[in-house]
Structures are given as structure tokens and as C-alpha cells.
């Protein structure tokens, strides 16, 4: 049962525990507050008392679970959960939009961000396209339960797909799921698994990655995160930077779309270099994604 809930809510075991605790504490608080409030109405007849109590707890329950969810760090989950209930009660299906909005979205590019880390780039990309008429960040794909990027997705109300190795490499690379979600374009932002041929074939020239160095140098298998910055500082390089490139079946190999550089000073460490590179990533990645997608859209 717990596994089913984990899959349904796309959370890891620890998060599921916190959610269940929030339900339990929120429910108890709601019952307690309901009884207290009922005391203010001096109603004797059970015929009135019971419906009144039911009405009070119905109103109090969302308030109580939201209140409890804040200290337990589950606000994003419960906000979305209550929104879903609200939609169901008002008779709208999840994801249903007004006809005008549907038309506006018809020509939009749906983008999936693949990330498995903190997700600072994912957040910048989401912010950049928040009001875009061209790009919709429609899905966050992640291979690490508990990754920071999943909290961002919950907060931003973006659907997530938690993937696992076997299906990714031996199955069809989740192409069916991406197609079912109408994904047009894939952005890798801190995703460490090599993208399988099934996926690069299905999204030829529609998958981009950002690498925290100036390719073709300091790329390839094992060259990620701090490994890159440590190697660059150890080699005494005077410059580093970022590379945004298309993704093919070889690590960090696809055609380069954009590069930006930063200087390395004598007092730089791998950590300070990582900070400089992150700034470059945040400044350029969303804009470059926008330009690439615009080109594709013009070809449609």
C-alpha cells in the first residue's frame, strides 16, 4: 500500500512518512478545533449538532493540514493536494483549462527538464518561462527520490516523473511517457545518466545539456560537478566557463550551441570556480533554451 502511495504521489519513503504524519496531526487538530468551536454554539439537539460539526470540520480540515504542513516542510504537496480536491469538487478534471487557454497552449513547446540535483538551473528555467507564450515547462524528470528539484516541482505545481535505471537503459528510455505527456523538447540540467539511443533518436536535435566547463575539454564520463572544477584548478587553467550543447549518444559530445567564459584567478578554489560557473549557467541557460526552441518553432 505504501509503495502504491509513493508512486501515486511521486515521493520517497521519508517524504511519504512526513505527509502521513501531516494528515494525522492535521486531522486531530481539526477534530479538536471543531469540538471547541461547537462549544460556542449552545446547540442541544443532535439533529443540528451533528451536521454543524460536520460542516465545521469540513471547513477546518484544509486549514489544519496546511498549518501542520508548514513546519513539516510539506506545504507544496498539500497546496497541490487541496487544489486537486477543489478542482474535483467544482467538477473540473485535473489539468482541464478554459477553451481559450487550450488554444493559446496549442502552439506552445512543452519542455521536460531532466535533473537529479538541487535544481538551481531548473528553477531559473522555470522562472524565465513562467509567463512565456512559447515554452511551457511541463514535466520534471528525476532519477533520485528526495532530490531538491522534486521539491521545486511540487512548489511550482509541475508534474514529475521519477525514473529508474532498468527501464531507462533497457526499456525505451521513457520515450512513451514523454510522448504521452506531449513533450516536444528536453533540457538536461544536472542529469548524470547517459541518455540512451532510444531517447536521442526520438528527440533528435531536441535535447540540450549544460556542461560546467569549456568543451571539448574537461568533459566525458566521470567529468561532472566538482570533479570538473577540481581538475581545472589542478591543471592551472586561466579560464573556465560553460558549454550548452545538443545531446547525442556520447557523453558531452553533441554540437556546441553556446559557450561563455570566466577568468580563474590565483586564489580561486574548486568551490569558488563552481560558484562562478553556476552564475554563468543561470545567466545564459534559460535564454539559450528560448532561442533554440524559437528556431524549432519557426521550422514547424
Site string for ligand GRF, 189-208 (x = CB under 6 A): xx------------------
Q: Which residues pair with 239 in a beta bridge?
A: 263
Hey, is 258 helix, strand or coil?
A: strand
Residue 118 lies near ligand GRF (rule: CB under 6 A): yes
**One of 211, 229, 245, 284 is an active-site residue; which one?**
211
Asked about 211 being catalytic, the answer comes back as: yes
CA distance 297 to 106: 12
**Nearest residue (CB) to ligand GRF, 68 versus 153:** 153
Residue 121 lies near ligand GRF (rule: CB under 6 A): yes
Question: Which residues from 28-87 bind ligand GRF, rule CB under 6 A?
Answer: none
CA distance 77 to 9: 9
- Residue 26 C-alpha cell reads as 492535521
- Of 281, 286, 292, 293, the residue at the interface with ligand GRF (CB under 6 A) is 281
Residue 212 lies near ligand GRF (rule: CB under 6 A): yes
Instruction: With contacts defined by CB under 6 A, name the span among 10-18, 156-164, 209-217, 257-265 that binds ligand GRF.
Output: 209-217
**Nearest residue (CB) to ligand GRF, 74 versus 123:** 123
**Nearest residue (CB) to ligand GRF, 91 versus 222:** 222
Instruction: Compute the least distance from the CB of residue 192 to ligand GRF, in Å.
Output: 8
Instruction: With contacts defined by CB under 6 A, name the span among 30-38, 63-71, 111-119, 161-169 that binds ligand GRF.
Output: 111-119
Residue 119 lies near ligand GRF (rule: CB under 6 A): yes
CA distance 167 to 161: 13
CA distance 251 to 276: 23
Instruction: Compute the least distance from the CB of residue 242 to ligand GRF, in Å.
Output: 7
- Residue 201 C-alpha cell reads as 533518436
Contact 137, 158 (CB under 8 A): yes
Question: Residue 134: left if φ>0, alpha if ψ -120 to 50, beta else—which one?
Answer: alpha
Hey, is 138 helix, strand or coil?
A: strand
CA distance 88 to 82: 10
Helix pair angle (75-89, 148-156), 10° resolution: 30
- Of 210, 244, 280, 293, the residue at the interface with ligand GRF (CB under 6 A) is 210
Residue 120 lies near ligand GRF (rule: CB under 6 A): yes
Instruction: Compute the least distance from the CB of residue 243 to ligand GRF, in Å.
Output: 9
Instruction: Compute the least distance from the CB of residue 293 to ligand GRF, in Å.
Output: 19
CA distance 24 to 257: 51
CA distance 233 to 264: 8
Which residues contribute to the site for ligand GRF (CB under 6 A)? 115, 117-122, 189-190, 210-212, 278, 281
Residues that are catalytic: 211
Amino acid at each position: 500500500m505504501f509503495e502504491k502511495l509513493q508512486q501515486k504521489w511521486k515521493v520517497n519513503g521519508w517524504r511519504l512518512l512526513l505527509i502521513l504524519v501531516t494528515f494525522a496531526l492535521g486531522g486531530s487538530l481539526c477534530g479538536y478545533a471543531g469540538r471547541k468551536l461547537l462549544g460556542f454554539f449552545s446547540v442541544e439537539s443532535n439533529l443540528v449538532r451533528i451536521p454543524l460539526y460536520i460542516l465545521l470540520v469540513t471547513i477546518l480540515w484544509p486549514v489544519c493540514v496546511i498549518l501542520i504542513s508548514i513546519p513539516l516542510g510539506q506545504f507544496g504537496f498539500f497546496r497541490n493536494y487541496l487544489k486537486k480536491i477543489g478542482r474535483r469538487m467544482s467538477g473540473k478534471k485535473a489539468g482541464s483549462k478554459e477553451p481559450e487557454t487550450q488554444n493559446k497552449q496549442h502552439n506552445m513547446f512543452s519542455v521536460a527538464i531532466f535533473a537529479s540535483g538541487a535544481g538551481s538551473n531548473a528553477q531559473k528555467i522555470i522562472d524565465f518561462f513562467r509567463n512565456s507564450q512559447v515554452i511551457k515547462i511541463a514535466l520534471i524528470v528525476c532519477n533520485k527520490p528526495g532530490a531538491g528539484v522534486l521539491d521545486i516541482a511540487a512548489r511550482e505545481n509541475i508534474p514529475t516523473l521519477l525514473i529508474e535505471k532498468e527501464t531507462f537503459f533497457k526499456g525505451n528510455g521513457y520515450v512513451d511517457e514523454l510522448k504521452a505527456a506531449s513533450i516536444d523538447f528536453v533540457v538536461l540540467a544536472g542529469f548524470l545518466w547517459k541518455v540512451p539511443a532510444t531517447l536521442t533518436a526520438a528527440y533528435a536535435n531536441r535535447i540540450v545539456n549544460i556542461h560546467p566547463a569549456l568543451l571539448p575539454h574537461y568533459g566525458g564520463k566521470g567529468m561532472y560537478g566538482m570533479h570538473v572544477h577540481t581538475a581545472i584548478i589542478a591543471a592551472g587553467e586561466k579560464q573556465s566557463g560553460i558549454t550548452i550543447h545538443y545531446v547525442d549518444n556520447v557523453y558531452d559530445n553533441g554540437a556546441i550551441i553556446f559557450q561563455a567564459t570566466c577568468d580563474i584567478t590565483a586564489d580561486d578554489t574548486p568551490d569558488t570556480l563552481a560558484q562562478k560557473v553556476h552564475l554563468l549557467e543561470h545567466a545564459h541557460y534559460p535564454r539559450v533554451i528560448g532561442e533554440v526552441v524559437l528556431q524549432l518553432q519557426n521550422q514547424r
